[in-house]
Amino acid sequence: MAGHNSLSSRLYRGELSIDFIRRRRLWYAISAGLMLLALVGLLTRGLNTSVEFRGGNDLRVTVPAASSAGEQDVRSAIAGLGIEGASNPVVSTLRGNGTTIRVTTAETKDADTTRIQDTIARTVGVQPDAVSVSSIGASWGKDITRTAVTSLIVFLALVMAYLALAFEWRMGIAAIVSLVHDLVITVGIYALVGFEVSPATVIGVLTVLGYSLYDSVVVFDKVRENTRNIAARSDTTYSLSANLALNQTLVRSINTTVIALLPIVAILVIGTIALGPGVLQDLSLALTIGLTAGAYSSIFLATPLLAQLRERDPAMAAVRRRYAATKAGASPADVELAGTRA
């Protein structure tokens, strides 16, 4: 009995309903505000791309237990060399099997890179060959950027094609708008906060877009089920049926998002505290931001937009007129006349 009267059961049967569709202007305004803030951050601050994208040097050294050298010591020593491109190095600490200091700089001459390597070794108290050096050219970074952008465009094109074939073109448009919304907000947060964008971040963002698409497709499938043969009905409208579908899948969407976020947030927190900056942190951070934005867009943006697009169809206008006539207590003949009236 408890399950029969649970919140999810009452939402599914329509006994309790949250009117998502009618409040769509509010959701649009919230989304527009978030996207505007994200775009301002992106245009004014830009993205803090990792060395893999912009090119440069990546040097790492494991600090001996007896050494007291830290990030600031290494940063000051390198800045004191006066090398162009290394005057403001990015120094971070990685934890795991010992403590590793990571230094990234802009691209430098080979001789200058060797000087940086020697300086790091001297500062932490190790031999120069204990400092690993990876140099990434600017052209390689541009190739990585081009590949990431191409992957995103191909992904969006495939999504549009799939939804147009499996469902209908309006669902494809609604899903693409939702995915762009998630992408802009995720990238905008990275720009505003200054999080580093690495290849792991790109992987995380693409994963998030796939998850957001899955969530939207679940709702769209329920909308399609609720609106089957709706053109011949007079007891509902497309918007009402779509709103019912949202309520029927609401608890599932929330539960799925929370369950997915729990281990990701745990990885983010543990990874940040125990390991410091790295691939795990980059990936889990992108997933955390993106999953949250994706859960919002699949509920508050994709389906309300779909309903708005679908209601412009003349057939759906006829359904609305029949529904209004039925609610007004008109006779069956008058209801049918209302549906066929131009």
Q: Residues 115-144: pLDDT tens digits?
A: 999 999 999 888 988 888 888 776 776 777
CATH number at residue 252: 1.20.1640.10
Asked, for residue 323, whether it belongs to a domain, the answer is no
User: What DSSP state is assigned to residue 97?
Assistant: S
Q: Do 177 and 285 meet the contact criterion of CB atoms below 8 Å apart?
A: no
Biggest alpha carbon distance in the chain? 94
What pLDDT score does 279 carry?
Answer: 64
Amino acid at 98: G
Asked, for residue 123, whether it belongs to a domain, the answer is yes
Q: Are 170 and 23 found together in one domain?
A: yes
At residue 290's C-alpha, the angle toward residues 287 and 293, to 5°, is 145
Per-chain mean pLDDT for the chain: 81
Q: Are 304 and 217 found together in one domain?
A: yes
How far apart are the C-alpha atoms of 44 and 191, rounded to whole Å? 9
How far apart are the C-alpha atoms of 169 and 176, rounded to whole Å? 11
- When computed from its CA atoms, the radius of gyration of the chain, rounded to whole angstroms, is 27
Q: Are 197 and 150 found together in one domain?
A: yes
Of 95, 111, 136, which residue is a domain's last?
136
What pLDDT score does 331 carry?
Answer: 46
Asked, for residue 325, whether it belongs to a domain, the answer is no
Q: Are 117 and 160 found together in one domain?
A: no
Q: Are 163 and 211 found together in one domain?
A: yes
CATH number at residue 123: 3.30.70.3220
Q: Are 268 and 160 found together in one domain?
A: yes
Amino acid at 108: T
Of the pLDDT bands very low, low, confident and very high (cuts 50, 70, 90), residue 190 is confident
Of the pLDDT bands very low, low, confident and very high (cuts 50, 70, 90), residue 4 is low
- Judged against a pLDDT cut of 60, whether residue 71 lies above it is answered with yes
User: How many Cα neighbours within 13 Å face the side chain of 36?
Assistant: 6
Of 75, 109, 136, which residue is a domain's last?
136
Of 81, 111, 136, which residue is a domain's last?
136
- Judged against a pLDDT cut of 60, whether residue 160 lies above it is answered with yes
Q: Are 155 and 90 found together in one domain?
A: no
Phi-psi category of residue 46: left, alpha or beta, with phi > 0 → left and psi -120 to 50 → alpha: left
- Judged against a pLDDT cut of 60, whether residue 1 lies above it is answered with no
Q: Are 203 and 230 found together in one domain?
A: yes
Q: Determine the angle formed by the axes of helices 279-297 and 238-270, rounding to 10 degrees.
A: 160
For the chain, the domain total comes to 2
Q: Is the dihedral of CA 138, 139, 141, 145 positive or negative?
A: positive
Q: Are 291 and 153 found together in one domain?
A: yes
Asked, for residue 340, whether it belongs to a domain, the answer is no
Task: Find the range with the poorest average confidence among 42-56, 254-268, 319-333.
Answer: 319-333
What 3-state class would DSSP assign to 5? coil
How far apart are the C-alpha atoms of 308 and 313, rounded to whole Å? 10
How far apart are the C-alpha atoms of 28 and 30, rounded to whole Å? 5
- Judged against a pLDDT cut of 70, whether residue 266 lies above it is answered with yes
Q: Are 43 and 74 found together in one domain?
A: no
Task: Find the range with the poorest average confidence among 44-48, 130-134, 216-220, 276-280.
Answer: 276-280
Q: Are 121 and 263 found together in one domain?
A: no
Given the structure tokens 């720009």, which residue do they identify?
191
Asked, for residue 245, whether it belongs to a domain, the answer is yes
Q: Do 279 and 198 meet the contact criterion of CB atoms below 8 Å apart?
A: yes
Share of the chain above pLDDT 70, in %: 87
Q: Which domain holds residue 265?
A: 7-47+140-311
What pLDDT score does 330 carry?
Answer: 52
What pLDDT score does 50 carry?
Answer: 79
What pLDDT score does 26 carry?
Answer: 94
Mind listing the pLDDT tens digit for each residue in 9-21?
Answer: 776 666 677 889 9
- Judged against a pLDDT cut of 60, whether residue 3 lies above it is answered with no
Asked, for residue 319, whether it belongs to a domain, the answer is no
Mind listing the pLDDT tens digit for each residue in 29-67?
Answer: 999 999 999 999 888 888 888 777 777 888 898 888 887
Of the pLDDT bands very low, low, confident and very high (cuts 50, 70, 90), residue 333 is very low
- Judged against a pLDDT cut of 70, whether residue 184 lies above it is answered with yes
Distance of CA 244 to the CA centre of its chain: 26
Asked, for residue 236, whether it belongs to a domain, the answer is yes
What pLDDT score does 25 carry?
Answer: 93
Share of the chain above pLDDT 90, in %: 13
Q: Where are the alpha helices (DSSP H) in the chain?
A: 7-13, 24-44, 51-54, 71-79, 110-124, 138-166, 169-193, 199-226, 238-270, 279-297, 303-310, 314-327, 332-340
How far apart are the C-alpha atoms of 51 and 133, rounded to whole Å? 13
What pLDDT score does 340 carry?
Answer: 55
- Judged against a pLDDT cut of 50, whether residue 337 lies above it is answered with no
How far apart are the C-alpha atoms of 339 and 335, rounded to whole Å? 6
Asked, for residue 289, whether it belongs to a domain, the answer is yes
Mind listing the pLDDT tens digit for each residue in 72-109?
Answer: 888 888 988 888 877 788 888 876 556 788 888 888 88
- Judged against a pLDDT cut of 50, whether residue 2 lies above it is answered with no
Q: Are 212 and 230 found together in one domain?
A: yes
- Judged against a pLDDT cut of 80, whether residue 335 lies above it is answered with no
